[in-house]
Structure 1
Amino acid sequence: MKTSDFDYDLPEEYIAQTPVEPRHASRLLVLHRASGELEHKQFWQIGEYLRPGDLLVINRTRVIPARLYAHKETGGKVELLLLRRVDELRWEALVGGKRMLPGKKVKLEDGLTAVIEAELDGARRMIRFEEAVEGHLERLGHMPLPPYIHERLDDPERYQTVYSQTPGSAAAPTAGLHFTPELIAQLEQQGVAFAGVTLHVGLDTFQPVHEDDPREHQIHTEWCELGEETAAAIRKTKQSGGRVIAVGTTSVRTLESAARHAKADEIVSPFAGPTDLFILPGYTFRAVDVMITNFHLPRSTLLMLVSAFAGRERVLAAYEIAKQHGYRFFSFGDAMLLD
């Protein structure tokens, strides 16, 4: 297995710069894993492929305005992207600026200061603020849109799912951006149930795989939680013949992390903590039956995860057909249903 096996050509014009309105008007490419058949639909038609008794598992994380602008004591500009809260004062962050070494101090626009405590790998640093930074984010923070999006986002809520609840992510769980309250209500009337998990999206959203062999890539941990109520709903769904449908790769990683901690007679166990689960082709899925996901970056861990679920050659062939049909890629792009 090579990282280059997960590469594909994507001209920049295919990368969605703005979201469609309404959310459920995005397109949906349906890939039937058993036959390899493809169907072209709109996302609001997803109910055609769901059955009464199915369970949609959604990630209720909420993106924090994690991009902050600051100055060094010398006046030089610094950009901070908060990735993971370590304790009340300390965060892991991506730091943009020259010579940002341990001991360096920076000051935010309202005077809050922070010090670089440790140099981690690449541009990651451990930062300690003089007081909890959360109270400053609504005033000073900016929505951390991915670097491939160049258009201004006028409504920050458009980079949140309609069901987001728990702040903590550095990026949105983008498969969930296609859902509207109206579509959720329609699916519930159809007999489809919803259950929530939380995974706070962190560094690996911004990190491509650089190693030639993806098995040598060290995936950074992300905090996730699957509670007893959701675990019980999953067990009930499976026992009654329904399917567990993961909305997004973040829900997949949470579900499969909970499956790793399950007892022999259970599908998943309640779980809260960091996960370093890296899903590559050859992985055996224990909890997820169907996946809803967006189109992912070349050579990314997320494309590898989707390939593990539906087959690398089949997924890459579907991506080529999606390009031929003008589908929009990445965070604000269109969706796939892998059943």
Structure 2
Amino acid sequence: MASIRRMKLGSQGLEVSAQGLGCVGMSVFSGPPKPEADMIKLIHHAIDAGVAFLDTADVYGPFTNELLLGKALSGGVRDEVELATKFGISFEDNKREIIRGDPAYVRSACEGSLKRLGVDSIDLYYQHRIDTRVPIEVTVGELKKLVEEGKIKYIGLSEASASTIRRAHAVHPITAAQLEWSLWSRDVEEEIVPTCRELGIGIVAYSPLARGFFSLGAKFIESLPNNDSRKKLPRFQAENLEHNETIFQRVSELAARKGCTPSQLALAWIHHQGNDVCPIPGTTKIENFDQNIKALSVKLTPEEMAELESFASADAVKGDRYQTGISTWMNSETPPLSSWKAT
């Protein structure tokens, strides 16, 4: 299998494969956890193919996805991968979700991830969601200490607004911002993407296949088990799904003309956004992984890019990305540093 090209992610020295592997669905949110042996086989297959940028988080399970990656990397392949994990979503009070960015929690979360992953250092450590009670400068200040101690190598933010990214970057250089960016999630293009580029911050695109929608459209959603969390997303509800299916059909028609699948076309669109963008599509099947990496060889002309974007302009999709009340970059502002009183 052809090797995957490498790219610089951000301006701090991190290099990764030009396409990563999102691992969350192996353990949670996509129906029941998948068989551990099969998932380890898939991870090793990805590494052998050159997709060595692996993405997880402590909340995936919680904890089970990090433990899975720890087992997959225990056989001497740790040095072949760039490992990214995240902190910031805690379960307390009978599993009620709490967003935390206070220094004590940052440190304890990092120690927990290091232990579960079985590694001495995390290559890229993201704040998964922004704690709006804690100045971002305080959170990043603790992350900076972890860099100085060698426990993490590079700092990232996920679902952070442009102003939050800018404030964080002033404390310690941010290497990557993880954003939901796809043909049908384009709101980040207005302010967040330009801010990242101004500051030399790499962009990691999660859910680049619209959570699987660009594989089969509405048929994909109908095929999901009832306990798959994607079934609850607003864009997949009946009142929105019929409208959004028309976007999939138009993408499918262009894909047929290009001789590729709709998923490959959607991934290729992300790859054509710039050499500072790395998509991390997730899968639990080796055959789907093999299909996804073929997107790297799909070439799009400016005219084809414009055609694709005409199908899925920022306001063309019906339904929000998440249910009401879920934290995203749109509600990630934190108090000023002057308001912080350490306890």
> What TM-score do the two structures reach when normalised by structure 2?
0.27
Please, what TM-score do these two structures have when normalized by structure 1?
Answer: 0.28
Structure whose residues are more often strand by fraction? 1
Higher relative contact order (CA 8 A, sep 6+): 1
Structure of greater Rg: 1
